[in-house]
Structure 1
């Protein structure tokens, strides 16, 4: 599996935002074609929204247009967020794609079922920020993992980069490396995700580069990846680590 099997498209820049202090956006269909153009304002992504709108808190709906190239057909398309404060809900072309809670960890969604390749799509993100003065979406600042924000400034928005990624039908989903310096080795747990409905033969190339830029270890391995996720374990000898 090679690194160049994935491509990325940054979709940050100038978006629109519509704040929703009365919590009417979902009821009014803002995610399904009823976007409130008269109330929408420009905003830069990535950035906390308080930079341009210092008094904003509570709920804000972000909106932008994006396009997935025809050349990505046959692959899965992932939508990545490097950070959003605090809770994030995502719609693609009016279809709900998923949600995430937590201000400082990256997250992603597989949006392949909701897009048309080569056709401009609509991305709407409902971001719920916490407040010192009120309950927002049933959340109280002091009762969340972000409770320390009650000590200082409370902020919200899409503060991290937002980008699209093309992902092969068989791809590395996760990699855990457990070094053992005393035994001069490293334990690898490679999780492969096979989106086909049948087993697929995959070649794994394991390479360790030392601080001088030289290859300290090299191994090629053929594995049969079943549909869904599967783990493959390896022990890599690393002399004099």
Structure 2
């Protein structure tokens, strides 16, 4: 899905924008203000945020790294498979000893004097320096590979993870079984070195550690009951750092003739997954969704069991995880996002990526065909108006936003011809629209894209996603931000994605936000102080938060927890490729 308005933390830009934040005592709301300083210098090398954007694209799209733009006269050739862990080079104007932090005083504006700046910097950095002295990360270096790659397929590059094209994580009107609720959990002191070892060499040890926990008749009555999604170490528990989850569920017979995906909203921090004793795969990174192919492991018409090994390393003990330490939020471990099974037909729409313009959008649909049968296929692409009401505002299914009496604004057929065998490809379906309703905080107009897959003249799959038409850029002639071509000043707050209710003995309830009602409540508090820009914690949020922000008229600033690194630890993290994977997963 398409985010609202996403802003990236910036330490220098073509408009010399600086961002200052004032943190409240409980660290749950931060007031953000943009101070824009005029720039009179001649053209200079690409600045920190420009280079980081380009380098990040190069890191996970197969593009050359560096600040140079792609030339239409000389198109780049992408490799067949692009690992996500390409290195980022040193940034222009980089502050010595602080990778990715750029500094330059340009004069004018409201820049504080030197003495005041030094005093403020000392007060801010001294507590961090003292905290850092108490953390001694281990010298162990993980060799667990990222699971995300980009492959060159017909029509363009496609993101793959654990052998499958990365799907949409928006809820779809498909056969689905939600697996949230009460699971069983067995706390266990896990070997993090094993957790971060390449699975080709660690698989035997992991299987031995699993023992008979994935057995059909395994007794979990001695395990503690735990809510999923949720956390196994709510405050003040600092002792539980990992363990085994298990749930048993009855799968109806109707799942017998389908392909199936097992989807996780987030598991913090490393997850290994077994379904009926079959190892499905692993994922590292605690805040982004992932999917595993469950087709061959499910047993329709019977009870199935799902076991998840979760290891959440203690921050400050290693320098090869993200984040490694010095974070100002609670390190919630466990299955912190939704879990569900989704049935997929033989020919399906995997995802629909939308790039908005002010008069339309570029749409790219990823299609997958599985099996030996040959089908004559096509796509029906429809554009619908969206209407947000009190009854559908919290719905995770974008199709519920379409008014019952609405007519499609666009109805377009794309012929795919005959498809044979296993295949994945991209299909372009751009559209233009006259007098479009543009998204803004004051008028958060949205549209719904519907993609219907046709196989042998029969509809076999539907995919829906909502989005807004908008453009955010920095004015090249003046120090200001433009939304849809018009100057705008955002009133921003920052929040920690953490449960505050119920209050117990004056302390917040604690735990990650796991329900759409909780997320709406936090966003409503932000709107209550007239905010229209949200900085979402220091890590990617729950998938429903950007969806609700889009509907409520809130711009978003999202980020990954890659900070407080020394040059050495920064290189260790980026060489592994996990930050690049997190960034790509957040963008997907």
* TM-score, normalised via structure 2 length: 0.36
2:458 equivalent in structure 1:
none
Q: Which runs of 5+ in 2 are unaligned?
A: 1-171, 192-204, 388-405, 437-588
Per-residue CA distance 1:214-236 (angstroms, 9 max, x = gap)? 53211123323443211111221
The SS at the match of 2:262 is strand
Matches within 5 A, 1:131-150: 131-132=314-315, 134=317, 140=318, 142-147=319-324, 150=327
Q: Which has the larger radius of gyration?
A: 2
Instruction: Work out which structure has the larger RCO, using CA pairs closer than 8 Å and 6 or more positions apart in sequence.
Output: 1
Identify the structure with the greater strand proportion: 1
Q: Which has the larger displacement, 57-66 or 83-92?
A: 57-66
> Structure 2: how far apart are the matches of 1:163 and 1:52?
27
Matches within 5 A, 1:41-120: 41-51=224-234, 54-120=237-303
Are positions 1:170 and 2:338 aligned together?
A: no
> Structure 2: how far apart are the matches of 1:62 and 1:88?
10
Query: Residue 124 of structure 1: CA displacement?
Result: 0.3
1:237 equivalent in structure 2:
432
Say if 1:172 and 1:128 are closer, same or farther in 2 by CA, change over 3 A: same
2:409 equivalent in structure 1:
216
Identify the structure with the greater helix proportion: 2
Q: Of 179, 188, 191, which aligns to 1:11? A: 179
Per-residue CA distance 1:35-86 (angstroms, 9 max, x = gap)? 5747521111110112398234332100110222111221112111111111
2:5 equivalent in structure 1:
none
Are positions 1:228 and 2:423 aligned together?
A: yes
Q: Which has the larger displacement, 155-164 or 24-33?
A: 24-33
Runs of 4+ in 1 over 6 A off after TM superposition: none
| Partners of 1:78 and 1:167 within 8 A in 2 | yes
| Partners of 2:346 and 2:369 within 8 A in 1 | yes
Pairwise CA RMSD: 2.6
Q: Which has the larger displacement, 26-35 or 117-126?
A: 26-35
Are positions 1:154 and 2:154 aligned together?
A: no
* TM-score, normalised via structure 1 length: 0.84
The SS at the match of 1:27 is helix
| Partners of 2:316 and 2:326 within 8 A in 1 | no
> Structure 2: how far apart are the matches of 1:96 and 1:169?
23
Alignment: residue pair count: 230
Say if 1:196 and 1:40 are closer, same or farther in 2 by CA, change over 3 A: same
